[in-house]
């Protein structure tokens, strides 16, 4: 089954470096086991990384046990939809890549909210 993005087209990979996604397949794929709904492909900013760390999810510190190098501003990463929404309400939502954001994100945020924070489309 082909996963769809928020635009209703096939989901495009978010990032292979760093390798992202709930399944670490480069895509913001999801299923019932993904309780965090890691479905929003974002280019993280320092403001978002600081916000996330303050909320108890430090994405900057490497964790070699999980083969995680830590994120830096500018990296693309599949974020939990609710964390992106919290950041939106706090005024620090990072920009998103619509083609790479799973349609499930629309259960948590509106397409208008995502479009207001969208990066220019990725080349096809």
- Token pair recorded at residue 24: 């670490």
Does 77 score more than 90 pLDDT? yes
Domain range enclosing 33 = 1-124
For residue 85, what is the domain's CATH number?
Answer: 3.30.56.110
Query: What is the structure's pLDDT at 121?
Result: 53
At residue 75 the predicted structure's pLDDT band, cuts being 50, 70 and 90, is: very high
Whole-number pLDDT of residue 124: 37
In this prediction, residues 8-24 reach a mean pLDDT of 95
pLDDT above 70 for 122: no
In total, how many domains does the chain have? 1
pLDDT in tens, 45-72: 999 999 999 999 999 999 988 778 999 9
Residue (of 66, 105, 112) closest to 83 by Cα position: 105
Average pLDDT of 24-47?
A: 96
With a CB cutoff of 8 Å and minimum separation 6, the contacts of 17 are none
Is residue 123 scored above 50 in pLDDT? no
Shortest CA distance to 69 belongs to which of 23, 119, 19? 19
Contact 81, 105 (CB under 8 A): yes
Share of the chain above pLDDT 90, in %: 90
The pTM score is 0.92
């Amino acid at each position: 089954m082909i996963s769809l993005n928020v635009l209703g087209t096939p989901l495009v990979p978010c990032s292979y470096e760093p390798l992202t996604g709930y399944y670490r397949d480069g895509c913001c794929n999801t299923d019932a086991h993904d309780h965090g709904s890691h479905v929003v492909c974002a280019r993280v900013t320092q403001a978002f990384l600081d916000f996330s760390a303050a909320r108890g999810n430090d994405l900057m510190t490497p964790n070699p046990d999980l083969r995680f190098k830590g994120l830096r501003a500018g990296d693309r990463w599949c974020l939990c939809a609710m964390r992106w929404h919290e950041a939106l309400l706090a005024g620090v939502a990072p920009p998103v890549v619509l083609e790479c954001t799973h349609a499930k994100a629309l259960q948590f945020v509106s397409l208008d909210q995502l479009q207001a924070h969208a990066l220019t489309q990725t080349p096809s």
